Amino acid sequence: MEDFEPIVIAFCCHYCAYTAADLAGTMRLQYPSNVRIIRLPCTGKVDVRHLLEAFEKGADGVYVAGCMEGDCHFLKGNFRAKKRVALAKRVLEDAGIGGARLEMYNMSAAMGPRFAEVAREMTEKIRQLGPSPIKRAKGMAHSAERKENDRAPQGAKV
């Protein structure tokens, strides 16, 4: 599908990943507008149900981005998230969606470039995997809405 633009949902913790995203913006780094950010106080707040719901609502890929292991602002939240992501990957595999469409990443608040890199990496990966199987089954062609994202630099290409 030539015009497939993945919808990627990123659950980001306020203290690290979301701040890194902010930094990426101020540094004028390019990252795809395919990535829709959801801010959480901590990735430890992520529930397996949220991850699955994202796919039910049409996400082609999802990732959870938290603090570096050992540096979680709430001590162990990112470890809990890691295990829940692992569980959700298995559920997605069993459901026929594919566990590869969900990932966990870690970064510090200072890692603006890393945030952008992850966003690019994940978007590209999902692009290769194609639209979520629930859309393929419906024979739906899908293109992401190209909304202006105030974090993406002016005139940025995706």
Interface ranges with other proteins (CB under 8 A):
47-49, 52-53, 55-56, 91-92, 94-97, 133-134, 137-138
Q: How far is the CB of 83 from other proteins (least distance, A)?
A: 9
Please say which residue, 55 or 63, places its beta carbon nearer to other proteins: 55
**158: number of Cβ within 10 Å:** 15
Please say which residue, 15 or 55, places its beta carbon nearer to other proteins: 55
* 32 contacts 123 by C-beta, under 8 angstroms: yes
Q: How far is the CB of 129 from other proteins (least distance, A)?
A: 14
Instruction: Return all residues near 35 (Cβ < 8 A) that are at least 6 apart.
Output: 8, 9, 10, 119, 122, 123
Please say which residue, 20 or 97, places its beta carbon nearer to other proteins: 97
Q: How far is the CB of 40 from other proteins (least distance, A)?
A: 17
- Taking the CA of residue 29 as centre, how many other CA atoms within 13 Å lie in the half-sphere pointing to its CB? 18
